[in-house]
Amino acid sequence: MDLHTVPGPKLMLIVLDGLGDRRVSEFDDKTPLEIANKPVMDKMASQGVLGLHWPLLPGIPVGSGIAHMSLFNYGLDECPGRGVLEALGAGVKLAKGDLAFRTNFASFDGETVKDRRAGRADFGLDRLTQDFNTGVQNNPFSVKIKLYSTGYRGALVISGPGLEQIDDTDPQMPGKLSLPTGNRTAKIVSWIHNTARELFDKHEVNKERADKKLLPANGLLLRGAGMMEQVEPFAQRNGVRAVGIADKPLYLGTASFVGMDIVQVDKDEDKLRKAFELWNDYDFFFVHYKKTDNAGHDGRPFEKRKEIEKIDKLLEPLLKKGDATVVITGDHATPCLLKTHSGDAVPLLIWGANVDKDDQEHFGERWCAQGSLGHLTGRDIIPVLVNLAGRMQEVGK
């Protein structure tokens, strides 16, 4: 259902990626969020309302693309493959029906993947990209193929009629590669793989990498395949003009996919400042912080606590904004114990203009479990935010 809004406070969605966690023995059975020294978020919690949200469904882990689509009030059936989101976030212009992949340069021994990231060494990959793009211009399928790389990662886009959704070629771990078979799109993907292997194996760059004792970058892995489609624009669905502020392609791309304007801001300390610069131009601000998730994946609870505390200091200027209603949450949980995404519920705080308060005084998993918002899904958050801000127009009036 589209939301019909009335004028009111600015709306802000602040996402600390992978914020949710489980209790850590080193923290006396507290989570990184619970033990962190975060006076700003705790003050907001004491003046606002708390709850928990399931990114999709209870107990179901999801990737960051799906999790953010849910936070933006879109359903699973509207989510493209992650390749589309990464490509858009890297500034690639996609047309309806384009097929986009996430890519890695990889190290192969025959058809066995030895290292999925070519040792994370970027040397010479710009030249490989340039020569690959030249080599695939005249292909037997009369489609446009282009590789966009940033270091060992990137995106690959196939444009042309009759393309279909396809499986990944990335085995996700060292081992034997399995190429798709069957339809025309599978044949295109197999041709791309074989062309890259032949070109890169004999390329001067890999001779130079060997001299430098670097792993070869002699192949491409494709994953996250997705077809570019059009979805209802964010402004139409949610009734507000929006801008996304982030530093990584996935989050910028997801915001762009739903029709937000996007601004890449590389330093965390500059993100809120950029939002304030744009304050009069938009109704809704999505601001993303990544490093909490990195710490969870690395299994480093002390680092995760440190990042939460850094972000808390950056949020202090919000306390002086009387014309804003703010959500602070994560897109999903990344427990340090598991080092991966889990299906745990995620802490949720709403604070600011027109928001009532509940009885909780701190922001953390155990207090959120007792908050007045209860358990929501990711898709519930924007309608609840708009309502609490006093901006929701009555249905059926």
- Listed by start position, the domains of the chain span 10-80+231-388, 96-227
pLDDT of residue 1: 66
pLDDT of residue 111: 86
Domain spanning 96-227, CATH architecture? 2-Layer Sandwich (3.30)
In this structure, is the dihedral angle defined by the CA atoms of residues 99, 377, 51 and 257, taken in order, positive or negative? positive
pLDDT of residue 64: 94
Residues 6+ apart with CB under 8 A from 323: 9, 10, 353
Amino acid residing at 134: T
Residues 6+ apart with CB under 8 A from 98: 84, 157, 158, 159, 163, 227, 228
Residues 6+ apart with CB under 8 A from 140: 191
Instruction: Check if the beta carbon of residue 90 is closer than 8 Å to that of residue 361.
Output: no
How many Cβ atoms are within 10 Å of 322's Cβ, its own excluded?
8
pLDDT, one tens digit for every residue, the chain (397 residues) = 678 788 999 999 999 999 999 999 999 999 999 999 999 999 999 999 999 999 999 999 999 999 999 999 999 999 998 999 999 998 899 999 999 999 999 999 988 999 999 998 999 999 999 999 999 999 999 999 999 988 898 899 999 999 998 988 888 888 888 888 889 999 999 999 999 999 999 999 999 999 999 999 999 999 999 999 999 999 999 999 999 999 999 999 999 999 999 999 999 999 999 999 999 999 999 999 999 999 999 999 999 999 999 999 999 999 999 899 999 999 999 999 999 999 999 999 999 999 999 999 999 999 999 999 999 999 999 999 999 999 998 887 6
Angle at Cα 150 formed by Cα 161 and Cα 199, nearest 5°?
65
**Class of the CATH-defined domain 10-80+231-388:** alpha beta
